[in-house]
């Protein structure tokens, strides 16, 4: 499955001292996305409680919108899996203390045996 990824982030949340280069910012944001994928696979909702702001919204590939409250409510139905997440064609727009990361995410896993 391939998913378009767009991550908008205040760099204050990424590091105490913002990285010096766009490449450093891109690397840190891709690392956060890897951790999000891992948290999804292991049902680590403590990670989501830590990183999702009260105003958090997620729009999936079908256009469905999920709020933080709705996302965290999914914990009760979560089933761990062994999905692998990879990212391609990362593009970064870095403007002062904010950055937008756009990338193609590929999730590889097995369902129903």
First to last CA, the chain: 17
In a domain, 113, yes or no: no
CB 89 within 8 A of CB 104: yes
Please give the pLDDT value at position 3: 46
* Domain that residue 95 falls in: 2-108
Residue 16: CATH number of its domain: 3.10.450.50
DSSP notation for 64-105: -EEEHHHHHHGGGG------EEEEEEEEEEEETTEEEEEEEE
pTM, to two decimals:
0.75
In a domain, 42, yes or no: yes
d(Cα 80, Cα 29) in Å, to the nearest integer? Answer: 24
CB 18 within 8 A of CB 97: yes
Task: Show pLDDT as tens, one digit a residue, over the chain (113 residues).
Answer: 444 445 555 555 555 465 558 888 899 999 999 999 999 999 999 999 999 999 999 998 899 999 999 999 999 999 999 999 899 999 999 888 888 899 998 989 876 65
In a domain, 31, yes or no: yes
In a domain, 51, yes or no: yes
Q: What's the total number of domains in the chain? A: 1
């Amino acid at each position: 499955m391939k998913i378009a990824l767009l991550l908008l982030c205040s760099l204050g949340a990424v590091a105490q001292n913002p990285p010096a280069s766009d490449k450093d910012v891109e690397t840190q944001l891709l690392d956060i996305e890897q951790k999000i994928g891992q948290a999804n696979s292991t049902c680590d909702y403590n990670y989501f409680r830590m990183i999702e702001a009260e105003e958090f919204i997620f729009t999936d590939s079908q256009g469905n919108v999920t709020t933080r409250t709705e996302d965290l409510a999914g914990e009760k139905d979560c089933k761990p899996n062994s999905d692998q997440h990879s990212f391609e064609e990362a593009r970064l727009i870095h403007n002062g203390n904010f950055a937008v990361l756009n990338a193609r995410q590929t999730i590889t896993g097995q369902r129903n045996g």
